[in-house]
Amino acid sequence: MNYFKSACFYQIYPLGLLGAPWDNDFNSAPVSRLKKLYDWIPHLKRLGINALYMCPVFESSHHGYDTKDFMKIDRRLGTNEDLTGFISECHINGIRVVPDGVFNHVGRDFWAFQDIVLNREKSAYTSWFHVNFSGDSGYNDGFWYEGWEGHFELVKLNLNNPDVKSHIFDAVGMWIDDLGIDGLRLDVAYLLPKDFLHELCGFCRNKKTDFFIVGEALHGDYRNLMDGGLLDSVTNYECYKGLYSSFNSINMFEIAYSLNRQFGKEHWTLYKGRHLFNFVDNHDVTRIATILNEPRHLPLIYALLFTIPGIPCVYYGSEWGILGDKKDGDYCLRPQIDSPFWDKLSELISLLTKIHSSNRCLTHGSYQQLYLTNSQFIFERTIDSERIIVAVNISPDEHVAHFNANAGFGNDELTGEMVDFSGGLRINAYSAMVISNLCIRK
């Protein structure tokens, strides 16, 4: 039950990772590129990953978020049987699989929308979308329709239509029963109607009791998407921004403010007991190795990712520091990679996943700030009688932090060395510490 609360996620963008063509011609025979993913399973296990988030895999026109058919795997990736086989192999290796569910909109090639293009007012599917035959679209269709945030290549579905919901639920039911998926990441969840979300979540959990549902949200109060039997988790963009910005501005107060606001000890903090979905980059934003001003901060930001409250997720290739800038377009963020690479950063992340997964303090513990300057940040994670102290020094100088650790000694899980708190906590330049086995000096 609730496997996601102690999960370490890995995200892939299959169409990019596997080198699929940009355009889907909808005529070619399926190409079983998904079979190349079997080669990544040993890499995921070596990293300590136990859950995989897959960006869109269903038949689409270009990038996956422009769906043509919810029932079929994109022919550029393979067949339904190919995905079923891969998910089964993941399960054998202890890895859950959570694909993208893109339900706010579809592509212009979606079969019901094409029926409207052909038959206009006579189409049986006009109520599946938000259509006005007195206007026109950016494609000169001779009728207007609502697109996602003004993008006419993404046609907004009418999720209040019972037939639309039934079609989506039939697809999701097939994904669960036949393909074997373990959860959904809901694209633009912040735009999905609450009634639809409630029905979808209930449907999925009735199918599989430990089904994990995480929604994409950028701003606002994430409780709006989690309360009342809705989502299990939400993408934590607030802490995403706070993490890299704190390093680049040498101002750890920013991420500390967000964590205190979200998880602090005060009764009013927002998300105590919740498991938000944390990341330092993904398929929509600049790679973390590109956006950080100081390369020596890269290991430190991952140390925070795996020790702050929430579910950590690593984006493919970033575990060895590949580059990619959003200003160069989305596809530079979603490159083809023939085989995974391993370096010192990968080794660190492997250690961090082990530390995260094996410590209830980090998966379920409370959060409390202990010490804060512009360049140093120390906090505590606690559950029952167990405690872990996390310390980060982002400056080029050694720092001695004086605070009440309520301990005399501990053990740094990153180095295996004993930590002595007498005279203050000595933190090396550009370093992080994850201190467990805390004991009072006798």
If asked whether residues 222 and 142 sit together in one domain, one would say no
If asked whether residues 61 and 177 sit together in one domain, one would say yes
- Mean pLDDT, range 349-367, rounded to an integer: 97
Q: Residue 440 has what pLDDT?
A: 75
- Which CATH number goes with the domain that contains 421? 2.60.40.1180
Measure the CA dihedral 217/307/284/291, to 10°: 130
User: What is the tens place of the pLDDT at every residue in 218-240?
Assistant: 999 999 999 999 999 999 999 99
What is the phi/psi pair of residue 245, to 5°? Answer: -70, -35
Q: Residue 96 has what pLDDT?
A: 98
Which band of pLDDT confidence, cut at 50, 70 and 90, is reported for residue 334? very high
If asked whether residues 99 and 150 sit together in one domain, one would say no
User: Does residue 442 have a pLDDT over 90?
Assistant: no
> Is residue 110 within 8 Å of 194, Cβ to Cβ?
no
User: Does residue 359 have a pLDDT over 80?
Assistant: yes
> Is residue 50 within 8 Å of 357, Cβ to Cβ?
yes
If asked whether residues 277 and 267 sit together in one domain, one would say yes
Range of the domain at 14: 3-104+161-364
Which ranges of 26-136 would DSSP assign to H, the alpha helix?
41-47, 80-92, 111-119
Q: Residue 441 has what pLDDT?
A: 62
- Mean pLDDT, range 335-345, rounded to an integer: 98
Of the residues 364, 390, 419, the one at which a domain ends:
364
Angle between helix 162-174 and helix 194-207 axes, rounded to 10 deg: 30
- Mean pLDDT, range 66-88, rounded to an integer: 98
If asked whether residues 78 and 110 sit together in one domain, one would say no
Q: Which residue has the tokens 């899980």?
A: 413
What does the alpha-carbon distance between residue 197 and residue 350 come to, in Å, rounded to a whole number? 35
What is the phi/psi pair of residue 411, to 5°? Answer: -130, 125
Query: Encoding tokens for residue 143?
Result: 């009728």
Q: What's this model's pTM, rounded to 2 decimal places?
A: 0.97
- Mean pLDDT, range 246-264, rounded to an integer: 98
> Is residue 255 within 8 Å of 247, Cβ to Cβ?
no
Query: Encoding tokens for residue 35?
Result: 């079979």
What is the phi/psi pair of residue 193, to 5°? Answer: -60, 145
At 393, which amino acid appears? N
If asked whether residues 265 and 387 sit together in one domain, one would say no
- Mean pLDDT, range 345-369, rounded to an integer: 97
- Percentage of the chain beyond pLDDT 90 is 98
Q: Residue 50 has what pLDDT?
A: 97
Of the residues 116, 137, 158, the one at which a domain ends:
158
> Is residue 426 within 8 Å of 349, Cβ to Cβ?
no
Q: Residue 2 has what pLDDT?
A: 83
Which band of pLDDT confidence, cut at 50, 70 and 90, is reported for residue 202? very high
If asked whether residues 279 and 261 sit together in one domain, one would say yes
User: Does residue 1 have a pLDDT over 70?
Assistant: no
- Mean pLDDT, range 427-437, rounded to an integer: 98
If asked whether residues 270 and 419 sit together in one domain, one would say no
Which band of pLDDT confidence, cut at 50, 70 and 90, is reported for residue 270? very high
What does the alpha-carbon distance between residue 109 and residue 360 come to, in Å, rounded to a whole number? 47
Which ranges of 270-423 would DSSP assign to H, the alpha helix?
288-291, 298-305, 344-358, 360-364
The overall average pLDDT reported for the chain is: 97
If asked whether residues 166 and 251 sit together in one domain, one would say yes
| Domain count of the fold of the chain | 3
- Which CATH number goes with the domain that contains 319? 3.20.20.80
If asked whether residues 12 and 46 sit together in one domain, one would say yes
> Is residue 172 within 8 Å of 199, Cβ to Cβ?
no
Of the residues 333, 364, 395, the one at which a domain ends:
364
User: What is the tens place of the pLDDT at every residue in 40-75?
Assistant: 999 999 999 999 999 999 999 999 999 999 999 999
What does the alpha-carbon distance between residue 139 and residue 132 come to, in Å, rounded to a whole number? 14
Nearest-CA neighbor of 291 among 240, 363, 338, 252? 240
User: Does residue 108 have a pLDDT over 90?
Assistant: yes
If asked whether residues 97 and 121 sit together in one domain, one would say no
- Percentage of the chain beyond pLDDT 70 is 99
Q: Residue 301 has what pLDDT?
A: 98
- Which CATH number goes with the domain that contains 112? 3.90.400.10
> Is residue 53 within 8 Å of 9, Cβ to Cβ?
yes
Entry field: residues in the chain? 442
Give the contacts of 119 (CB within 8 A, at least 6 positions apart): none
- Mean pLDDT, range 137-143, rounded to an integer: 93
If asked whether residues 131 and 245 sit together in one domain, one would say no
